[in-house]
Each structure stands twice: as C-alpha cells, then as structure tokens.
Amino acid sequence: MDLVFRTTYVFFLILLLTRVVGRRELSSMEPFDLILLVVIGDLVQQGVTQSDYSLTGATTVIVTLSLLTVATAYATFRIRRLRPLLEGEPIVLVVDGEPIERNLRRERMTLEELAATARLKEIGSLDEIRFAVLETNGEVSFIKRE
C-alpha cells in the first residue's frame, strides 16, 4: 500500500510542476532539458519504489500511475471546472497585430521568440497576425489577417 501512496504523491507533484513550469517551456525542450527529464524520472523511480525491485512493486506503480492518468482524463472530461486546472487554457498573445504584453510576460515569452515562431509558420511580421494563441499543448497557433 505504501507504493500506491508514494505513486499518488509523485503523480500530483509532477502535475503541479508541469503547471508551474509552463506550457511553452515543455513544448520546446533543449537537449539539456531532455537529459534533466531522464534524471528526474530516475529520481522519481527511486523515491517511489525505494528498494523494492520486485515485479509486484513495478506492477503496482505502473497500474497506479495508469489509473491516476485515466481518472484525471475522465475528471477533465466530466467536470468542466477542472479543465483549466488540469489541462490549462489557451492564452491570446496577439490581437490584430498588437502583442498582449501581460500575457507574454506571464508565459515568459519575448517578442523575439514570438516573431521567430511566426516566421516558422511563414508569417513575416506580427502585423500580418489577426490572432496568435498559445494553445494548451504549448504550440502557438496563428490566424492571419485577410
């Protein structure tokens, strides 16, 4: 039963950390970030299982994580008020070519990064953008002016 409690604690800790870190950072990982995630994964495994290397322990942890993931997905599907907390909400970054500084600051995104993302979508200038939205998956979507 100790493994279930440890796994549940770590699940919600990781959920909290992904909300604090922010979407944009998670969607654009550098090699260092990837290595850091692997190290964190190893540390989490050690914290959850401690010295239990049995198949039963591994099965308990995997089943607990899976059930928590399914329960979280079901809760966000059934309970609308949980969606912003668990999945986040899209954030408007540009309206009619004008960047929304407050939202950019909140997401720790510079105008240069936004412009670079727009160029990757073949948009030469922020003036060409009707709306730019930071989606819940960390990608920026653009709607061009007509």
Share of the chain above pLDDT 90, in %: 40
Q: pTM above the 0.75 mark?
A: no
Q: What is the structure's pLDDT at 1?
A: 80
User: Which uninterrupted H or E stretch holds 6?
Assistant: helix 2-21
Per domain, the residue ranges of the chain are: 2-86, 91-144
CA 109 to chain centre: 15
pLDDT band at 27 (very low <50, low <70, confident <90, very high): low
Q: Kindly indicate whether the domain formed by 91-144 is annotated with CATH number 3.30.240.20.
A: yes
CB distance 19 to 88 below 8 Å: yes
Beta bridge pairs of residue 1: none
* Residue 18: C-alpha distances to residues 21, 24, 64 (Å): 5, 11, 19
Q: Residue 106 and residue 122: Cα distance in Å, rounded?
A: 25
Q: Residue 14 and residue 20: Cα distance in Å, rounded?
A: 10
pLDDT at 128 over 70: yes
- The predicted-structure confidence for 62-121, as pLDDT tens digits, reads as follows 899 899 989 988 998 999 998 888 888 899 999 999 999 999 999 889 999 999 999 999
User: Which uninterrupted H or E stretch holds 142?
Assistant: strand 140-144
